[in-house]
Structure 1
Amino acid sequence: MNIRDETVLRELNLYPLWVRRGVPAEADVASLPAAHAETSQPALPVAEQPMLRQQTEPPPASTLNWTDLKRVVRDCSACKLRSGCTQTVFGVGDEKAEWLFVGEGPGADEDAQGEPFVGQAGKLLDNMLAALRLKRGDKVYIANIVKCRPPNNRTPEPDEIATCMPYLQQQIELIKPKLIVALGKTAATSLLGRDATLGSLRGTVHDYHGTPLIVTYHPAYLLRSPAEKAKAWQDLCFARQRMLP
């Protein structure tokens, strides 16, 4: 293990990393337990989502390329969230990414900078990515369920999610990721189109229109509940196993 790996694991409260005697670290990580029965719970199709409403009706998100989608999201005022935020936060990363990480919505730092996960939660997410030998922008794309910051960082309301989801759905269609990692309950239930506890969704490969989807904790929650970082590490190892050839 090099110094950088040790630093990452310390940040995740996972150091020292115990390895079984005589077994390489990679093999020990791969043996982490998980009850991983695959299920198929498709999200609601775009056709069942409420239509976007704006002063000027935009073209359907499903018809847009990256350039047009970014422009429409930038100019969107389809729900009440836009009037209370500084700017929309589109997403960031490799537009042909293998990994797509989806959070809930922008916070204050994200609203100010126009990029998702740039505050303390973003720092932790970057460390989570580093633990997987990944980094922001390299085979990784990061987005949120809603593109505008909810007031006081509250949970987005159902109508706000329904209005913004076509944008994320088109991002997923353009990226065509090999795996989606839903960060937190809001992201997971919005993508899967059903309500459930986070605990019941973890440890299982779900299906999002043919793309595998795995659920773990939101980094902001892990900052408040650091004891759960070990469970998040287990989720990340499960995700890595799913991506192995």
Structure 2
Amino acid sequence: MSLRRDAILREMGLAPVWRLRGRQAQPEPEPVLQPAAPTPASGPAQGRVRSDLRDGAGDLPQPVSTRSHTDVGDGVMGLGWDALEARIRGCEACGLCRRRKQAVPGVGDRQADWLFVGEGPGAEEDERGEPFVGQAGRLLDAMLASIDLKRGEDVYIANAVKCRPPNNRTPEAAELAACFPYLQRQIALIQPRLIVALGRPAAQALLNEEVRIAAARGKLHSHGGIPVVVTYHPAYLLRNLQDKAKAWDDLCFARRSMRGLKHA
């Protein structure tokens, strides 16, 4: 492992985790590709999601209803980038618009091979209008660097919802549904080779099913024919340091998958 990557992993909190377990430095993991059955290309599944399916323990379960995005979707799918971002910034399709300072469309290379999808903006993102700029954003940048990626260079970063949920709570099903046409249009414009879903809400929005991160990791899922890798949200990793090593495994799996896609 290079000195540069070792420093990045220390920044992610991985090196202390490995030392505490008494392990010597290990070569980069070689994940086994386990394709999952294709899933529908639309959003959250019906029913209720149990609290144990969320990334963080102790969260209350959220109702999940059938996606209905006619009001937004009918006018979005033909938009180009500038019109799409203007529509997002002026959107009033759900109640999140009432307490936002600004909507956060996304940022990065609009022809990227890599698309990273998070949950929703936090307080700093709401202030600045860019996703992943707070402490979780700094960790995401370190995660990207660990696999030789950089924000804005062949990478686009977006969220499942474009406005900050109050108190940074998990987005509700209706909010995910209202915002999904925007994410869907971004995917259609970018045409990424690979999508990385950061956390349960993003994974559930993309895969249209209940998702447990522990069970979804290490497999290639599908959104509209585009491979999807599921891993933990950086904000979750900041609260659960023991799972950073698992996120590193997921990043290695994503990079290996991308290499396979480019050489297919």
TM above 0.5, yes or no, is yes
Shift of 1:3: 4.2
- The answer on 1:242 being equivalent to 2:240 is no
Any idea what the Cα deviations from partners look like across 1:149-205, whole Å, max 9, x if unmatched?
A: 000011111111111100000000000000000000010011101112111211110
Aligned to 1:18: 25
Aligned to 2:71: 52
Any idea what the Cα deviations from partners look like across 1:79-113, whole Å, max 9, x if unmatched?
A: 11011110000100000000000000000010001
Distance (Å, rounded) in 1 between the aligned partners of 2:68 and 2:213:
23
Identical pairs, percent: 53
Do the aligned residues in 1 keep the contact of 2:69 with 2:180 (CA within 8 Å)?
no
Count of aligned pairs between the two proteins: 231
Distance (Å, rounded) in 2 between the aligned partners of 1:51 and 1:164:
11
What letter is aligned with 2:71?
L
Q: Which runs of 5+ in 2 are unaligned?
A: 19-23, 44-66
Structure 1 stretches of at least 4 aligned residues deviating more than 6 Å after TM superposition: none
Do the aligned residues in 1 keep the contact of 2:31 with 2:218 (CA within 8 Å)?
no
One of 64, 81, 84 as aligned partner of 2:96: 81
Shift of 1:39: 2.2
Aligned to 1:171: 186
Do the aligned residues in 2 keep the contact of 1:146 with 1:156 (CA within 8 Å)?
yes
Do the aligned residues in 2 keep the contact of 1:39 with 1:204 (CA within 8 Å)?
no
Q: How does 1:16-165 map to 2 (within 5 A)?
A: 18-19=25-26, 28-29=27-28, 31-34=29-32, 36-44=34-42, 49-52=68-71, 60-165=75-180
Distance (Å, rounded) in 1 between the aligned partners of 2:176 and 2:204:
11
Shift of 1:51: 1.7
What letter is aligned with 1:4?
R
Distance (Å, rounded) in 2 between the aligned partners of 1:225 and 1:7:
20
Match of 1:200, SS state, is helix
Q: Which runs of 5+ in 1 are unaligned?
A: 20-27
TM-score by length of 2: 0.83
Shift of 1:38: 3.2
CA RMSD between the two structures: 2.0
What letter is aligned with 2:228?
L
- The answer on 1:4 being equivalent to 2:4 is yes
Aligned to 2:202: 187
